[in-house]
A and B are shown apart, each in its own frame.
Chain A
Amino acid sequence: MKEKLVLIGNGMAGVRTIEELLKLAPDAYDITVFGSEPFGNYNRILLSPVLAREKTIDDIMLNDLQWYNDNNIKLHTGKWVTKIDRAKRVVITEDGSEEPYDRLLLATGSNPFIIPVPGSDLPGVISFRDIHDVDAMLEASTKYKHAVVIGGGLLGLEAANGLRTQGMDVTVVHLLDTLMERQLDKPAAELLQCALKEKGLRFMMEAQTEAILGNERVSGVRFKDGREIPADLVVMAVGIRPNIELAKKSGIHCERGVVVSDTTQTYDPRIYAVGECVQHRGQTYGLVAPLFDMAKVCANHLAQLGYSRYEGSVVSTKLKVTGIDVFSAGDFLGDETTEDIVMKDAARGVYKKVVLKDNKIHGAVMFGDTVDGSWYFQLLRDGTDVSDIREHLMFGQAHLGDSGHGGQNAAVAMSDDMEVCGCNGVCKGDITKAIVDKGLFTLDDVRSHTKASASCGSCTGLVEQILVSTLGGDYSATPQEKPLCKCTDHTHDQVRKAIRAQHLTTIPTAMAYLEWRSPNGCHVCRPALNYYIISTWPAEGQDDPQSRFINERAHANIQKDGTYSVVPRMWGGLTTPNELRAIADVADKFKIPTVKVTGGQRIDLLGVKKEDLPAVWGDLNNAGMVSGHAYGKSLRTVKTCVGQEWCRFGTQDSTSMGVILERLTWGSWMPHKFKMAVSGCPRNCAEATIKDFGVVAVESGWELHVGGNGGVKVRPTDLLCKVTTDEEVIEYCCAFIQIYREEAHYLERTAPWLERVGLSYVKEKIVDDAENRAALQERFLESQRYAQKDPWAERVSKGVEKHEFIPLKHVS
């Protein structure tokens, strides 16, 4: 006999919990759901577009009746549960019928708060919480003229805007002198009020409602100061209260909400609660992101896995108020212990304030331009020390406007047919359509459904904006410490720590120790695990070819037609007539269609058939050339200028230095590709200041630069330090590569890694600490003993991985 699970409350939090549960344990329970509304589960966040008649209830359905059917869930719509008999373990409905449970889930949500003034029960006085309210508003808008919205918070403003677009005269009444005082500071609220006035809304600020007037139906509103205004419709939007009536009546401990522990259990351990009805560690929540966090934890316990804990959510508000972007997070008001950085450009309608405390972001509020909201929020949650980037902080992360999206940085201003994601050709309209039609809530959802921002990621900020503007007042921010992939709950750092501490040297032992959820991982986690194992244990770690991306398995770059490209190494960009002749001969012999000079100063042979690869390599090996690792998460090239030997400006021998560095570092596996350059003077012809490790010669020695990137997001390097001798260049180069190899996440380039940990941290470890620097160098050189084997030669002469290059069979 299966256990019985009963869910009371057919809303977003409760049904999300069921969805998460079905993913973990599809057959664990017989599930029964009670909902008071006559529908399946719909997306409450999208009520505003329904009010604007842009969408219908069917458009915003998340789980239709078919879904309940398909999953064998018994759904009772339009049915109230009146009592829970905890001793007998049954719930009792209004018609007296009983439903037994083994476990019970409360997701009763919240009720709108109705101000207890005379007349508040008159017909025409409503709230803005469900589809029923929206119907009432739409009906009123066709018959009546004057609407009054009490409450100048997000919900009130959305309602006001919706009624205004339906042609009503709308007055927003607010008790305080600033709108949305819980999300905005005064300057931002003033900008918002101005913008809304221009859209035709009227405001009565600091107005306390005394009575709602009318006989058969509402006819007006009177305030404490004696003023009266006409009203045919009054929308109360002054706040919500957790709906705890049923829980209370059934003797479950409640304060402001139903009190739950970190396992989302109430004081009755058979009864769980999630969503807006819940009070956890003294907090109640009204945004979707925390509700979904709770749902995940609750499902984990219902599925009897029992290891997940809800530890509260840090909430940011990234809102779209009637077409205007606002953002706030943390303590954006500040006090005497904090400092503010403020930027205001009223003509452009932009206002940004960042509140700092002890060099960390303590809060932020933004109006008009909210592109960097998620960046500030990330820095806030990570507790990142921002002293290194303080001077640039207000100008944002500047990841928009780099390449691939035509310099767009405001999604609102884009039309539906404009391209957002230049990699995958996804337009704004495709994204908004997917969000609504498929019921998406998070950036990851949008990525997997539309592929927007799923490749290079440079349009992530834009996609987030579109998500926010489509979902209106709500949006699930990506959690701070993401699990490595869907096969585990562990983060990159946790996985790596375990591999080191537990001496894990193979993928199966690592997966077993870390309790991987899937039998052999996925295309995301296996390459990461493989890298962590071989970089942590260079001598003993078992390299698994089947867990490497094809390029690293075939030691060549796969092309769109399934052929491969071959790039032999040219040390420091130097070559010889003999090498060039050998390359030309290979190209002729194997009929290689394209020969191209790369950006990294070497030659690319494109269009090689996979079966030909070993023979091509054999010929190149015979001429003294080895793999250029142009395909690997590894050292790529060391680009050089001609330097002192020939150049009249050269101050040092940059070409020789480049050759030395490349001979030293080739073959090493890295979290991501790694490029170097050496320039012979500050004119920097080798473009060393956009490389992962760049060396620039000056008269007195060498400048060492780190963390540069010339790709999608151009980032110039930071100066690590200046040194005088060649030996020091070598030592710092090894130390920097090794700390990156040991500490960056797999597939994290040096630029984002450096931004994450801070330049000060890297300086402290490498520049200030000579002992640590030497130790890093030693570990790097030790690992190079195992890594510096030409993979081409191994395959040509020793027959390594032979099966990779020959077909299983040829059938005519």
Chain B
Amino acid sequence: MTEWIKVGRIEDIPPLGARVVETGNGDIAVFRTAEDKIFAVRDKCPHKGGPLSQGIVHGRNVTCPLHNWNIALESGQAVAPDEGCVARYPLKVEDGVIHLSLKG
């Protein structure tokens, strides 16, 4: 059974923005796109560990604030030609409430 944790409402995250969920095992970045899609990935760029939650969100990508790597939020993969990938976390949205699972 997946254990879902309520972390907040969609409106708590600005469109084209992100917020952080702090856990004992490091931060998780929760993103909101312009079309209100929500994605959650580990808040650590595969390049040099930059906090992805602080990056600029565009389309379904985020640009890491440290060295401008682009990460596709859906797959967690770095956009070519960069190579690398970041862990994703399952989530669901019910009545505007975001439920996150920590089993990434």
- Chain A interface (Cβ within 8 Å of chain B)? 438, 448-449, 451, 518-523, 526-527, 545-547, 549-550, 554, 558, 560-562, 803, 807-812
Contacts and interface: CB of A to CB of B under 8 A. Distances in A.
Given A560-B48, A810-B22, A811-B22, 7 more contacts: A451-B67, A519-B59, A520-B34, A522-B58, A803-B12, A809-B5, A812-B24
A549 B68 CA distance: 11
Interface string B39-54: 0000000001111001
B58 A808 contact: no
B55 A550 contact: yes
Contacts of B56: 522-523, 526-527, 546-547, 549-550
Contact of B7 (A547, A562, A808): A808
B21 A519 contact: no
Contacts of A521: 58
Interface residues of B, number: 38
Nearest to B43: A562
Interface string B12-33: 1111110111111001001000
Contact of B59 (A449, A520, A545): A520
Contacts of B13: 803, 808
A809 B58 CA distance: 24
A520 B21 contact: no
Interface centre among A561, A562, A812 (most CB of B within 10 A): A562
Given A523-B68, A545-B14, A546-B17, A809 B22 contact: yes
Contacts of A554: 54
A550 B7 CA distance: 23
Given A449-B81, A523-B58, A550-B55, A811 B102 contact: yes
A808 B5 contact: no
Nearest to A809: B7
Interface centre among A523, A527, A558 (most CB of B within 10 A): A523
Contacts of B55: 523, 550
A523 B61 CA distance: 10
A37 B34 CA distance: 48
6 contacts: A520-B16, A547-B16, A550-B54, A550-B55, A807-B20, A811-B102
Nearest to A561: B49
Nearest to B44: A562
A560 B51 CA distance: 9
A550 B65 contact: yes
Contact of A808 (B12, B24, B51, B54): B12
B34 A519 contact: yes
B33 to A, nearest CB: 8
B22 A807 contact: yes
B21 A546 contact: no
| Top-3 shortest CB links A-B | A808-B19, A523-B63, A523-B56
Contacts of A549: 56, 65
A811 B5 contact: yes
A520 B62 CA distance: 12
Contact of A811 (B14, B23, B59, B61): B23
Given A550-B65, A811-B23, A526 B48 contact: no
Contacts of A811: 5, 7, 21-24, 102
Interface centre among A527, A803, A807, A809 (most CB of B within 10 A): A809
A194 to B, nearest CB: 42
Nearest to B9: A808
A442 to B, nearest CB: 13
Contact of A546 (B14, B49, B66): B14
B58 to A, nearest CB: 5
A558 B14 CA distance: 20
B86 interface: no
Nearest to B24: A812
Contacts of B8: 808-809
Contacts of B16: 520, 546-547
B73 interface: no
B21 to A, nearest CB: 5
Contacts of B5: 809, 811
A811 B28 CA distance: 10
Contacts of A550: 54-56, 65
Nearest to B35: A519
Contacts of A558: 51, 54, 65-66
A810 B27 CA distance: 9
B21 A522 contact: no
Contacts of A520: 16, 34, 58-59
Interface centre among B13, B17, B20 (most CB of A within 10 A): B20
B59 A562 contact: no
Contact of A562 (B17, B35, B50): B50
A612 to B, nearest CB: 14
A518 B59 contact: yes
Contact of B21 (A449, A527, A808): A808
Nearest to A547: B56
Nearest to B12: A808
Contacts of B23: 811-812
Contacts of A812: 23-24
A549 B51 CA distance: 13
A522 B16 CA distance: 11
Contacts of A451: 67
A518 B24 CA distance: 37
A560 B15 contact: no
Interface centre among B23, B24, B56 (most CB of A within 10 A): B56
A520 B23 CA distance: 31
Interface centre among B15, B16, B61 (most CB of A within 10 A): B16
Contact of A807 (B21, B34, B59, B81): B21
A557 to B, nearest CB: 11
B57 A546 contact: yes
Contacts of A547: 16, 56
B56 to A, nearest CB: 4
A560 B66 contact: yes
Contacts of B81: 438, 448-449
Contacts of B65: 549-550, 558
A218 B62 CA distance: 64
Nearest to B11: A803
B100 to A, nearest CB: 8
Nearest to A527: B56
A613 to B, nearest CB: 12
Contacts of B68: 523
Given A438-B81, A560-B66, A526 B102 contact: no
Nearest to A563: B51
Nearest to B63: A523
